[in-house]
A and B are shown apart, each in its own frame.
Chain A
Amino acid sequence: MNKKKKTLTAIQPYVWLFPSVLLMVTMIVIPIVSVFRISFSEVGRSGLVKGFNGIQNYLEVFEEPTFWTTLQNTLVWTVVVVGLSTVIGFILAMVLNQEFVGRKIVRAIVIFPWATALIIQSVIWKYIINADYGALNVLLKKIGLIDSFVNWTGTAQSMFAWECWVGIFVTFPFVTFCVLSGLQGIDTSLYEAASVDGAGFWSKLFKLTLPLVGPSLTVSTVLNIIYVFNSFPIVWTISKGAPADQTHTLVTYLYQLSFKDGKSGHAAAVSVIGFVILAILASIYMIMSLRGEEES
């Protein structure tokens, strides 16, 4: 009887975890396994998996120049969007941490891009930058900054730059709020003491603020790297990789391969490559989080 009760207590935590584990294993782990399997298989255009064909899919993907452009784009996209969002978000957080009239309103406004669906943001910006009737052209012409309409997305570079802009637009609020929550935990007397000691703005920034909001900044940066790397709607809505597949990122490229070109094998290989990159990033994050856990 007693023994039975003991076993019950021992397995109890696992019973509590079971629903959650079941959900995640069926919906996340099985697709992971499936993606790996498909990437090493020959797949017909209909999506029928025909059999093991080693690393053939990977070799074929590597032969595509588009893949390498895409990989390069993904790197630029992730670094530019996360980097600039972090800088802008950080500066805005510093400003919002000051007392001023209307601070609450500005704080609320900054939430807008974070709360809005990415697809809706993407569609609005696609309209704004439209060359023939876009709102930006109309606005700039009305206030006299341009004489004739500008083709904002005439080249692959300008198209991609606009996509990065939209990426930044939806990403920086998260940084702002992470940093703000870090800043609000700082004792203001530290700053007063530093001022008394004659510390200027920059030395306060680098010696006090940055180290103190460091952990919040790390979380926002790591999470943003992963979100931005995985971000699909912006690029898909605005350019679908056009012109000439020059503006794809890894996720839009794999979507195109799988669901437009009927090359599931190649798409799976690209997924696995993306997956490996993410796994490396995730492990770094996990090690950092668990280390933080031990310290606290």
Chain B
Amino acid sequence: MTAKRKTWQKVLLYVFVIVVSVVILYPYFVMFITALKTKNEMYAIDHILPTIWEWSNFTKIWSAAPVLRYFLNSLIVAGGATLLAILCGIPAAYALSRMKFKGKGIFMGAVIMSQMFSPVVLLVGIYKMMVSINLNNSLLGLILLNAAFNQAFAIWLLRGTFVSISPEMEQAAKIDGCGTVRALIKVLLPMALPGIVTTLIFIFINAWNEYTIALTLISTDAFKPITVGINVFYGFNFIQWQYLFATSLCATIPVVVLFLLIEKHLVAGLTAGGVKG
């Protein structure tokens, strides 16, 4: 009886897991096969798979629109924002994990609060400010905003990593004559490397995937990141779905791979940060 029940449970489990996987993969499957269809077959409605597999779509996108430029912009914005967020985040996280001072609680509270506000509700103010300092329509503006809105994550994840490392080694280094900064760079940062890499990748992905700020601030084609740039295939009269999806795939795959690398570390860091502070 129980053996039979166990088998049924196993079958049910597999059915559930397969259905979930198929549903999750379906849009990626659609993206993939559509990216490989020819222009003529795009609106042909009697085939699921392309009859002609147009692999050249993946090479054509680069000349059909300034796709390379969009990718470079995304790389500059995401890379710059990540670097800035980390450079500001490390000292802050260090102070929060190793020092006692007045206002620490308030600062931590403010950090959590800032995590709550997506830039979208502030768009009107952000736009006005960026126009007044002439940073709308510039990559630097996007770098600054992405870094700022990811600062909470940076501090959160880094502080969690620093707290989990015993301060004894740094103290020993200080006794040996190291200054605080040197002890941080030579002793703590190498030990915290896995946590730092996780934070770097997470912020990079967030900035890479960012859409709303870029849509609002950037109007010049030359400064568009890929998330906004793919709109070129989205014309008024007809949509070049095959190019749109070929480009989207190129923008998605690296990010998914990066995410797979950090998943274990990231989730532990995020939930620990949220629950235990």
Contact = CB atoms under 8 A, between A and B. Distances in A.
B252 to A, nearest CB: 5
Contacts of B96: 17
Contacts of B245: 124, 127
A57 B127 CA distance: 19
B205 interface: yes
A266 B271 CA distance: 37
A274 interface: yes
Interface in A4-39: 10, 12-14, 16-24, 26-28, 30-35, 38
A219 B24 contact: no
A93 B39 CA distance: 41
Contacts of A35: 121-122, 124-125
A124 B17 contact: no
Interface string B258-272: 111001000110110
Chain B, interface SS category:
helix
A218 B275 contact: yes
B277 interface: yes
B227 interface: yes
Contacts of B230: 119-120, 123
Interface residues of B, number: 95
A102 B17 contact: yes
Nearest to B259: A115
A115 B255 contact: yes
B248 A181 contact: no
Given A127-B30, A292-B275, A232 B212 contact: yes
B89 interface: yes
A126 B200 CA distance: 32
A289 B274 contact: yes
A98 B209 CA distance: 32
A30 B230 CA distance: 31
The 9 closest A-B pairs by CB, nearest first: A27-B148, A31-B125, A293-B277, A34-B125, A230-B118, A115-B259, A219-B274, A282-B116, A117-B209
Interface of A: 10, 12-14, 16-24, 26-28, 30-35, 38, 47, 92, 95, 98, 100, 102, 105-106, 108-121, 123-125, 127-128, 132-133, 135, 137-139, 141-142, 149, 169, 177-178, 180-182, 215-216, 218-220, 222-223, 226-227, 230, 232-233, 250-251, 254-255, 258-259, 264, 267-268, 271, 274-275, 278-279, 281-283, 285-286, 289-290, 292-293, 296
Interface of B: 10, 13-14, 16-17, 20-21, 24-28, 30-31, 34, 42-43, 45-48, 84, 87-89, 91-92, 94-96, 99-101, 104-105, 107-110, 112-129, 131, 144-145, 147-149, 151, 155, 180, 205, 208-209, 211-212, 216, 227, 230, 234, 241, 244-245, 248, 251-252, 255-256, 258-260, 263, 267-268, 270-271, 274-277
8 contacts: A23-B148, A32-B117, A218-B274, A232-B211, A233-B211, A255-B212, A278-B117, A290-B109
